Structures are given as structure tokens and as C-alpha cells.
Amino acid sequence: MEPKEYDAVVLASFGGPEGQEDVIPFLRNVTRGRGIPDERLEEVATHYRANGGVSPINAQNRALIAALKAEMAARGIELPVYFGNRNWKPYLPEALRRAHDDGHRRILMVTTSAYSCYSSCRQYREDMGMALRETGLEGELDLDKTRQYFNHPGFVEPFAEGLRADLASLREELGADARIHVLFSTHSIPTADAAAAGPRGLAAALRERAGAEPGEAEGADVYSAQHLDVVREILDRVPEAAGTAWSLVYQSRSGAPHVPWLEPDVNDVLEAIAGPDAPVDDRGRAVAGVVVVPVGFVSDHMEVVWDLDTEARRTAETLGLAFRRTPTPGTDPRFVSGLVDVVEERLGRREGRAAVGCFPAWYDVCRPDCCTKVMRDGTVRPTAAAVDAEVRGLAEHGEGRT
């Protein structure tokens, strides 16, 4: 997009409960439209209840907003930063109302999701449209979203530092010759959603356009290919990891058992590399320790502290594996600086668009059919443009048209 003189920024995120009484209402928001009874939701609620009913995510986002404000002020960017969530207070419509009441009209939205798929990109754009409609601010606010930033060096470099430190820690504990496996973990999504994030041919074409050699991303859907490319960038920055086995794994599956999701699950891989039937290497060594790198996540929210720090750690301990989990970027200065770089791109204050790996810097605006939502019956949720066209058609030709 052409640069604009934005007058406010909104940080948009998933949201999370901030007390025991919030947990079930929050989970109802997350699963709305799926008809899941409260007794089923209570099974998931135990993750939050074990943490006092509080998700870490809101406090982490407030800390990130403070860091963003400080970095923008240091660069002379005098823009207020508002906070709006998809599933819990403060909600995105509330953030837009506040910005509008404060006199702002051109707003740039930064999200806490780095990669390309429906829930981490397109759904935020849908949230924007629904929030404008709910608040009655359509035509009043000019609202845009920044690009996905999975391959910005500010996102990649903190993971590399964490991996370097955790490898050193494990080798100090287990011995320099110990066999270690690195698991790069990200959120699983339905395979249909992964395919909708971009066809396998697109991943290959983008790699070719960027001049990349064939590698692990070849033949993958765009969502997986982006992760694999980030993994390669992290490993390239950590020479201490040379020769160390690694895997891209998935976590936090929440769908019905009959619906295919991206695999393998992190716990299944732990069993495979260290269970009773796990192979030893050519020197007779079994895997002695693992480093889990939560490469799909921006901060240490519930899906990190429960699914990795609790469940995956428990699996590793049962298998006799030493366990390390590297930090997420959080408020690391490099990550914060990278987000402000992305804001500056849209303000027209920055030359070039920083990106590492085989993919170009991602697009400000994606294709109309990108990251569409595949429904449980296999149909595709229509795009906003398709819905608008249908509405116009009905208005012009009557209901008989359908």
C-alpha cells in the first residue's frame, strides 16, 4: 500500500481471561457458533484455572504496548497506541471507539500473530470490518493492518539467542557429547486451513522468486513453509546447533478427531525420539535432552505455558529427557524494534522492507481468496467481496436471482 499519515496505532490480539469468573465466558467467545456445552469447555478451563483463571497474554500485551510506545517515541513517532482483543476485554470495537472519541481517523493495526493463515491474518481483517460495523464507524475511520512479520529479523533473532543459550545449558548438564534434539513448535491448524493459506505451488514459486535453493519448504503449504524457512534462519544463526537433529512440530490442536490437522504433535515426537522403541545413533547414543523452541508464538501465553511448559515438559520427564524451552520474543528490544520498523514502512518513513530467508517481505494486502476459512462441512466461508456482490445482486435483481 501507499504510505499514509496514520494518527493512531491499535495492537490487536487474541485476548484471555483475567480471573476465575472470566474463564467460561471467555471460552464461550472463543468457540461461539460451534455449540460446545459448558461442561466440555470446563475441560479446557482447567488450563486457566491452574493459573488462577488468568491468562498471561493481556499483561504481556500491555508490556508490549509500553515498549512500543517507548521505541516509537525514541524515533520521533508521536502516535497513541490502543489495545483491542478478539475474544476478551478490551475488545477491538471498544479500542476503535476510544480512538475515534479521541479524535483519530486513520488507524494502523498491528497484531500479535506473525504467520499467514486464517486465524492469524484474515480473521483479524474480518474483525476489523465487524468492529467498524458494530461501532457504526464505517466511513468514519480509515483502518489498515500491517503485514505478517514472520521473516523480519527482529522476530527471528531472539529465538536464535534462546536456542544458543539452551543448547549450552543442556550440554553443561548432560555433557558436551550428549545427543540433543531440537523441536521447533507452532500452533497446529486444520490441514484445509493450511492449504487455504496458500497452495503448495505458491510456496515453491515464492522460494524460486527469492532465489532459494530447494529445501524443506519445497512442497509445503505456505503456513508450514514460512515456519520451515524461519527454522532454517534460526539454525543458520546458531553454529552450535550444527549436526543437531531437529523437527518442526505442532501443538494445541482443538478440533474434532475426524478433522485432519497439521502433524506431528509435539508429544508424539517426544515419544518417537525417546520412547522404548526409539532408535539410537551410530554411536549407540539415545536422545538425552530436548530444546523446544516455540517458533510460532510471539509471547509466553497460555498455549506456551500449558501446552509446552506443563504438558510437553511432563512428557519429557516421563521419558527421562532433560528439557529446555526457549523464550518467545515478548518485549525483546529486537522484536519491539522490528514491529516499529513495520509501522514505519506504512508511514513512509523507512527505506526498504526488512526480511530474511527465502520469502520476500510479506504483502500489506493479500489476494482476495487468501487464507479463506474452510468450514466443518468442507465449504469455504465466502469472502467479504463475494458477500457484498451477492447483496448487490439481490438488491438489483431480487431474491429470484439465487
d(CA 107, CA 110): 10
Distance CA 115, CA 185 (A): 13
pLDDT (tens digit per residue) in 39-49 = 999 998 999 99
pLDDT value of position 33: 86
Q: Do 251 and 312 contact (CB within 8 A), yes or no?
A: yes
The whole-number average pLDDT for the span 184-197 is: 92
Domain boundary among 291, 308, 325: 325
The residue from 308, 325, 342 where one domain ends is 325
The tens digit of pLDDT for each residue in 59-69 reads: 999 999 999 99
pLDDT of residue 399: 36
Q: Do 254 and 187 share a domain, yes or no? A: yes
Assess whether pLDDT exceeds 70 at residue 207.
no
Give the integer Cα–Cα distance in Å for 206 and 252. Answer: 28
For the stretch 369-383, pLDDT in tens is 788 876 655 555 554
Q: Which domain holds residue 196?
A: 153-325
Nearest-angstrom CA–CA distance, 195 and 224: 10
Considering the domain architecture, whether residues 141 and 161 belong to the same structural domain is answered as no
Q: Between 144 and 197, name the one with better pLDDT.
A: 144
Residues 30 and 140 in one domain: yes
- Of 325, 358, 379, which residue sits at a domain end? 325
Tell me the pLDDT tens digit for each residue of 239-268. 999 999 999 999 999 878 889 999 999 999
At 378 the pLDDT is 53
> What is the number of structural domains in the chain?
2
- Give the three-state DSSP class for 366: coil
Map grid coordinates 530436548 to a residue: 290
Query: Which residues are paired to 8 by β-bridges?
Result: 107
Q: Is residue 214 part of a domain?
A: yes
**CA–CA separation, 15 and 57 (whole Å):** 7
What amino acid occupies position 119?
S
pLDDT band at 138 (very low <50, low <70, confident <90, very high): very high
| CA dist., res. 304 & res. 314, Å (int) | 14
Q: Please indicate, yes or no, whether residues 75 and 214 belong to a single structural domain of this protein.
A: no
Residue 41: give its domain's CATH number: 3.40.50.1400
Backbone angles phi, psi at 313, to 5 degrees: -60, -40
Residues with Cβ < 8 Å from 16, sequence gap 6 or more?
26, 48, 54, 55, 56, 57, 58, 87, 88, 301, 302
Task: Pull the grid cell for residue 136.
Answer: 457504526
Residue 397: per-residue pLDDT: 37
Q: Is residue 3 part of a domain?
A: no
Residue 401: its pLDDT value, please? 30
CA–CA distance, 319 with 296 (Å, rounded to integer): 25
**Contact by Cβ (8 Å): 64, 305:** no
402 assigned to some structural domain: no
Kindly write down the DSSP assignment for every residue of 167-232, as one continuous string.
Answer: HHHHHHHH-TT--EEEEEEEE--BHHHHHHT--HHHHHHHHHHTTPPS-TTTT--HHHHHHHHHHH
- Reported as a single tens digit per residue, the pLDDT across 285-339 is 999 999 999 999 999 999 999 999 999 999 999 999 999 999 999 999 999 999 9
Q: What is the pLDDT of residue 214?
A: 54
Cβ partners under 8 Å of residue 144, min gap 6 = 1, 4, 6, 107, 108, 109, 346, 364
Q: Do 177 and 258 have their domain in common?
A: yes
The reply to whether 299 and 340 lie within a common domain is no
221 and 363 housed in the same domain: no
Helix (H, G, I), strand (E, B) or coil at 8: strand
**Residue 163 in 3-state DSSP?**
helix
132 and 214 fall within a common domain = no
Give the 3-state secondary structure percentages of the chain, helix then strand then coil, rounded to 5: 45, 15, 40
Residues 362 and 319 placed together within one structural domain of the fold:
no
CA distance 173 to 182: 16
